[in-house]
Protein backbone atom coordinates (compact mmCIF):
# COMPACT_ATOMS: atom_id res chain seq x y z
CA UNK A 1 0.00 0.00 0.00
CA UNK A 2 1.32 3.40 -0.98
CA UNK A 3 1.05 6.48 1.25
CA UNK A 4 -0.53 9.53 -0.36
CA UNK A 5 -0.71 13.14 0.77
CA UNK A 6 -3.28 15.64 -0.53
CA UNK A 7 -2.44 19.34 -0.38
CA UNK A 8 -5.09 21.90 -1.30
CA UNK A 9 -3.64 25.23 -2.42
CA UNK A 10 -6.27 27.94 -2.08
CA UNK A 11 -6.42 31.31 -0.37
CA UNK A 12 -10.20 31.07 -0.02
CA UNK A 13 -10.19 27.56 1.45
CA UNK A 14 -7.35 28.45 3.81
CA UNK A 15 -9.29 31.52 5.01
CA UNK A 16 -12.53 29.50 5.39
CA UNK A 17 -14.22 31.59 2.70
CA UNK A 18 -14.89 28.51 0.58
CA UNK A 19 -15.28 24.81 1.35
CA UNK A 20 -12.56 22.59 -0.11
CA UNK A 21 -14.36 20.20 -2.44
CA UNK A 22 -11.41 19.07 -4.58
CA UNK A 23 -9.21 17.79 -1.76
CA UNK A 24 -11.82 15.42 -0.29
CA UNK A 25 -12.76 13.93 -3.70
CA UNK A 26 -9.07 13.37 -4.49
CA UNK A 27 -8.57 11.69 -1.13
CA UNK A 28 -11.62 9.48 -1.73
CA UNK A 29 -10.35 8.41 -5.18
CA UNK A 30 -6.95 7.59 -3.72
CA UNK A 31 -8.42 5.53 -0.88
CA UNK A 32 -10.70 3.67 -3.31
CA UNK A 33 -7.62 2.89 -5.42
CA UNK A 34 -5.88 1.33 -2.41
CA UNK A 35 -3.75 4.24 -1.20
CA UNK A 36 -3.37 5.19 2.43
CA UNK A 37 -4.36 8.86 2.60
CA UNK A 38 -4.41 10.94 5.74
CA UNK A 39 -5.65 14.41 6.64
CA UNK A 40 -5.71 16.98 3.84
CA UNK A 41 -3.40 19.95 4.28
CA UNK A 42 -4.71 23.34 3.13
CA UNK A 43 -2.25 26.13 2.39
CA UNK A 44 -2.74 29.60 0.87
CA UNK A 45 -1.25 30.61 -2.47
CA UNK A 46 2.05 31.63 -0.86
CA UNK A 47 5.33 30.35 -2.28
CA UNK A 48 7.06 29.54 1.00
CA UNK A 49 4.05 27.72 2.44
CA UNK A 50 3.48 25.66 -0.71
CA UNK A 51 7.16 24.70 -0.93
CA UNK A 52 7.24 23.89 2.79
CA UNK A 53 4.14 21.67 2.45
CA UNK A 54 5.62 19.82 -0.54
CA UNK A 55 9.01 19.33 1.11
CA UNK A 56 7.33 18.27 4.35
CA UNK A 57 5.39 15.57 2.50
CA UNK A 58 8.54 14.40 0.68
CA UNK A 59 10.49 14.31 3.97
CA UNK A 60 7.64 12.35 5.57
CA UNK A 61 8.16 9.69 2.90
CA UNK A 62 4.83 9.98 1.12
CA UNK A 63 4.96 7.99 -2.10
CA UNK A 64 2.41 10.18 -3.86
CA UNK A 65 1.78 13.87 -3.22
CA UNK A 66 -1.22 15.37 -4.98
CA UNK A 67 -1.94 19.08 -4.98
CA UNK A 68 -5.23 20.69 -5.96
CA UNK A 69 -5.45 24.31 -7.00
CA UNK A 70 -3.14 27.07 -8.10
CA UNK A 71 -2.66 25.79 -11.66
CA UNK A 72 -4.63 28.42 -13.58
CA UNK A 73 -3.91 31.88 -14.93
CA UNK A 74 -4.61 33.95 -11.82
CA UNK A 75 -1.70 36.06 -10.60
CA UNK A 76 -1.81 34.08 -7.33
CA UNK A 77 -1.71 30.68 -9.09
CA UNK A 78 1.86 29.54 -8.44
CA UNK A 79 1.60 25.83 -7.59
CA UNK A 80 3.47 24.68 -10.75
CA UNK A 81 6.30 27.14 -10.14
CA UNK A 82 6.62 25.99 -6.52
CA UNK A 83 6.51 22.35 -7.58
CA UNK A 84 9.33 22.95 -10.06
CA UNK A 85 11.43 24.40 -7.22
CA UNK A 86 10.95 21.20 -5.21
CA UNK A 87 11.25 18.38 -7.76
CA UNK A 88 14.49 16.90 -9.08
CA UNK A 89 12.99 15.63 -12.34
CA UNK A 90 9.82 16.42 -14.25
CA UNK A 91 7.40 13.71 -15.38
CA UNK A 92 5.80 15.64 -18.26
CA UNK A 93 3.92 12.70 -19.74
CA UNK A 94 1.57 12.57 -16.76
CA UNK A 95 0.60 16.26 -17.00
CA UNK A 96 0.32 16.02 -20.79
CA UNK A 97 -1.98 13.01 -20.55
CA UNK A 98 -4.17 14.68 -17.94
CA UNK A 99 -4.59 17.76 -20.13
CA UNK A 100 -5.22 15.63 -23.23
CA UNK A 101 -7.85 13.53 -21.44
CA UNK A 102 -9.51 16.57 -19.93
CA UNK A 103 -9.62 18.38 -23.28
CA UNK A 104 -11.93 15.61 -24.48
CA UNK A 105 -14.39 17.01 -21.95
CA UNK A 106 -13.63 20.76 -22.13
CA UNK A 107 -11.25 22.84 -24.19
CA UNK A 108 -10.59 24.91 -21.06
CA UNK A 109 -8.31 22.09 -19.93
CA UNK A 110 -5.59 23.61 -22.12
CA UNK A 111 -5.45 26.44 -19.58
CA UNK A 112 -4.22 24.15 -16.81
CA UNK A 113 -0.53 24.66 -16.07
CA UNK A 114 -0.09 21.73 -13.69
CA UNK A 115 3.21 19.88 -13.63
CA UNK A 116 4.29 16.51 -12.29
CA UNK A 117 7.66 15.39 -11.08
CA UNK A 118 9.88 13.34 -8.82
CA UNK A 119 11.68 14.20 -5.61
CA UNK A 120 13.54 11.41 -3.82
CA UNK A 121 11.03 8.53 -3.72
CA UNK A 122 7.95 10.75 -4.12
CA UNK A 123 5.82 11.53 -7.15
CA UNK A 124 4.21 14.98 -7.05
CA UNK A 125 1.14 15.66 -9.20
CA UNK A 126 -0.57 19.04 -9.61
CA UNK A 127 -4.34 18.90 -10.21
CA UNK A 128 -6.73 21.76 -10.94
CA UNK A 129 -8.65 23.26 -8.02
CA UNK A 130 -12.21 22.53 -9.11
CA UNK A 131 -13.71 19.31 -7.79
CA UNK A 132 -14.82 18.22 -11.28
CA UNK A 133 -11.48 18.88 -12.98
CA UNK A 134 -9.45 17.36 -10.13
CA UNK A 135 -11.59 14.21 -10.23
CA UNK A 136 -11.45 13.86 -14.02
CA UNK A 137 -7.69 14.40 -14.16
CA UNK A 138 -6.88 11.98 -11.35
CA UNK A 139 -9.23 9.31 -12.71
CA UNK A 140 -7.42 9.54 -16.06
CA UNK A 141 -4.06 8.56 -14.53
CA UNK A 142 -4.78 6.65 -11.32
CA UNK A 143 -4.24 3.17 -12.75
CA UNK A 144 -0.95 3.98 -14.47
CA UNK A 145 0.76 5.96 -11.73
CA UNK A 146 0.95 2.90 -9.49
CA UNK A 147 3.38 1.36 -11.98
CA UNK A 148 5.41 4.56 -11.91
CA UNK A 149 5.58 4.37 -8.12
CA UNK A 150 6.81 0.78 -8.35
CA UNK A 151 9.57 1.89 -10.72
CA UNK A 152 10.43 4.87 -8.51
CA UNK A 153 10.78 2.66 -5.47
CA UNK A 154 12.66 -0.10 -7.32
CA UNK A 155 9.94 -2.66 -6.72
CA UNK A 156 9.67 -3.61 -10.38
CA UNK A 157 11.74 -6.76 -10.83
CA UNK A 158 13.37 -5.79 -14.09
CA UNK A 159 12.71 -2.31 -15.47
CA UNK A 160 14.54 -3.23 -18.68
CA UNK A 161 11.73 -5.65 -19.54
CA UNK A 162 9.31 -2.73 -19.56
CA UNK A 163 11.01 -0.95 -22.45
Does the pTM surpass 0.85? The reply is yes
Angle (deg, nearest 10), helices 131-152 and 92-103: 150
Condensed to tens digits (0 to 9), the pLDDT of residues 49-61 reads: 999 999 999 999 9
Asked if pLDDT for residue 159 goes beyond 70, the answer is: no
Q: What would the pLDDT profile of 20-69 be if each residue is shown by its tens digit?
A: 999 999 999 999 999 999 899 999 999 999 999 999 999 999 999 999 99
CATH number, residue 11: 3.40.980.10
**Among 26, 9, 12, which residue's Cα sits nearest to residue 131?**
26
pLDDT digits (tens, 9 = 90+) for 84-132: 999 999 999 999 999 999 999 999 999 999 999 999 999 999 999 999 9
Predicted local confidence at residue 162, as pLDDT: 52
Residue 157: what pLDDT? 54
Residue numbers of the domain that contains 16: 3-162
Number of domains in the chain: 1
Residue 67 and residue 125 in contact, taking contact as beta carbons nearer than 8 Å: yes
Amino acid sequence: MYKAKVITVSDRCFNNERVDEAGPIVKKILINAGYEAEKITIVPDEEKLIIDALNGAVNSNFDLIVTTGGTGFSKRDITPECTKKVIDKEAPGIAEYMRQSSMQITKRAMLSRGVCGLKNNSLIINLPGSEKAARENLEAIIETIEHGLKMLNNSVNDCAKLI
